[in-house]
Each structure stands twice: as C-alpha cells, then as structure tokens.
Amino acid sequence: MSAAPSILSMSSVSKSFGGNPAVRNVSFDVAPGEIVGFLGPNGAGKTTSLRMALGYVKPDSGSVSLFGGEPGEATFGRVGFLPEERGLYKKQTARESIALMGRLNGMSKRDAFMTADQLLDRYGLGEAKRKKNKDMSKGMAQKVQLLSAIAHDPEFYILDEPFSGLDPVNQQVLEAMVREISERGRTILFSTHVMEHAERLCDRIVLMARGEKVFEGSVQEALDFAPRRVVMASEKAGLADAVTPVATEMERLETGALDLLLRRDAKVPDILERCVDAGVRLTRFEPTRASLHEAFVALVGEDVRADLEASAATPAEEVA
C-alpha cells in the first residue's frame, strides 16, 4: 500500500528580503496525522517558511505544495493558522472573536457561535464568554486566539510560536490541547524556540538555523547527536584524574560528584576500566538523559548557541 501524500511539501525553497536571505534552500514534508516541530532561534527563518507554506509569501525559488496544490485561498478553510503576531479585536468578546473566525472559514452564524460557546466551556473559559478581549489576561487572550484558529475543525494546523508569552501552567494547558487535536487525527506543524515542547509533543522535528535546515527526523534521532553526560562520585581522591581523558567538560557539583560531558568516542567500559586501574571505587555512576537543546547545539555548533539563548530571553509580545 502506498503512503498517503504529504499535506505540506516544501522543496528547495528560498526567500530574501531586500537582498538579505531569510530562508535558504529549505525542503521538508508534513505527512497526515503527524505533529511536526519547526524549531530554531528567532531569526532562523521559521515564520517566513510558514508564511510561504500558507501562500502568504511567494518564494523566490523552489516550490510549495499544500494539499497537493498551490497554497492559497482554496486551502484556507482546511487550515487553522495561529500567527506569531498576536491580535484580537479589543472591543469584541471572546465568543465573538471565535465565531468571527469560524464564519470567515465557512461556518454559519448559528454554528459559529454554538461552537464558540462549546469551546470556551470545554477549555475552562466559560465565564469569559462575554468578557471583552481588552479585559483578559495575556494567557486567557492567547487561548481565545488559539480557539479561534481551531473553531472550524480544520484538517491541518499551523501554529507559529504558540507557547510564547504563556506561563508554565498555560503552556501545559496548550500542550494538552495540541495532543487532543492530534488524537482526532488532525495534522499539526508548530514552530518554537523552546525545545522542551517539541520533546514532549512531536513525532518529528525540523531544526532551522540562520535560514537553513540543519536536521529533519525523529526526536530520538536528533538526541543521538547530543553529547552524553554522566554523573560520577567516589569516596577516594583521583576520580577527576582518571576520567579527564574521556571528558570534554567537567563540573564539580555541590554534592562533590563530577558531572562529565563525554567525548563522542568514549565508551562506558573504558570509563569504568580507567577507574579500576586508578584504584578509584565508584559510589555513583549515573548517565543523564541528553536534551534536545544539547542536540541542537551539537548539530549547529557553538556559534548559534547565543542565538538560541537570546531567543529564550526575548520578552514575550503583548496579546490582544
């Protein structure tokens, strides 16, 4: 049986603005039913790529296929889009905002308002139905905007930095919403510079850095590029000297244990053999799980680490 055609296919797509390249020769596909994370620091080309995927921006070269054809007006009703630029009409109520987007995507007025009420009740915002957007908290307004994007129950969701500006509690709520949408068989592509969301949610990820794709694959395949860490401890001196040849970084923890960043060619039996030869009896040997953040740095190099850290420190933009 042949595989289902991709919902989104970008092939060798490039885009420049004023002579400055924003996206360079990027290709990737999104298959039906997947949750795909589009990851990278601010300025990596994520938003421009998503706008080309929707047909809002035309590529300078390469091609984009959405539902097997050119993106544009014919595909709008099949896509739910949450833009990076947050914005709700301040004088509208929550239910009016959701119903408006539903109607713009082909719903009748009655169905749009009924769906708005159901969604607000379902996601704990029932008391805010008639509250004006300008009077909502940032987190509440962002959830209303997401509900506006899903009201018409599209086949494909494109969410640009959906977690930006949310506190940890509302980030968890949003993650639960993404899982629930996926469980209904829908396809989701979301961009983020926070790697932890992708680790928890994604079937597959696309890593971007400075306009270029640097990796595409499963989360585990990306983690395989991350350097390995191990925490070791001994009651006797000499541990640091014994393991120095197998580590690229070493940090002494408050407990006295050593946190080692291992060389890529380091093997666990060799590490233990070194300790035995040095007469060092271990009281702790604990490999630690690599993070997607570490994998990203390993894939793109230290020179891009600052971009990622700057993205994490960027204040969230106002909502509503």
H helix intervals, 159-303: 168-183, 195-201, 219-223, 239-243, 268-277, 292-300
Domain with CATH 3.30.70 in the chain: 229-289
Task: Give residue 21's identity as a one-letter amino acid code.
Answer: P
pLDDT at residue number 1:
44
Residue entry with tokens 């380091």: 266
Domain with CATH 3.40.50.300 in the chain: 8-223
Write out the two tokens for 143: 């959830």
Q: Report yes or no: 44 and 80 within 8 Å, Cβ to Cβ.
A: no
pLDDT at residue number 3:
62
Residue entry with tokens 């690229």: 248
pLDDT at residue number 194:
83
pLDDT at residue number 315:
46
- CATH number for the segment(s) 229-289: 3.30.70
Residue 4 has, within 13 A of its CA and on its CB side, a CA count of 10
pLDDT at residue number 57:
93
Q: What does DSSP assign to residue 198?
A: H
Fold exhibited by the domain 8-223: Rossmann fold (3.40.50)
Contact residues for 73 (Cβ-Cβ < 8 A; gap 6+): none
Q: Report yes or no: 4 and 31 within 8 Å, Cβ to Cβ.
A: yes
Residues 272 and 264: their CA atoms lie apart, in Å, by: 16
Residues 198 and 163: their CA atoms lie apart, in Å, by: 11
pLDDT at residue number 62:
96
Helices 305-313 and 292-300, packing angle to 10 deg: 140
Q: Report yes or no: 7 and 68 within 8 Å, Cβ to Cβ.
A: no
pLDDT averaged per 10 residues, the chain (length 320): 78 95 96 94 91 94 94 86 83 92 91 94 86 84 88 94 85 90 94 89 93 92 86 89 88 89 83 89 87 82 62 48
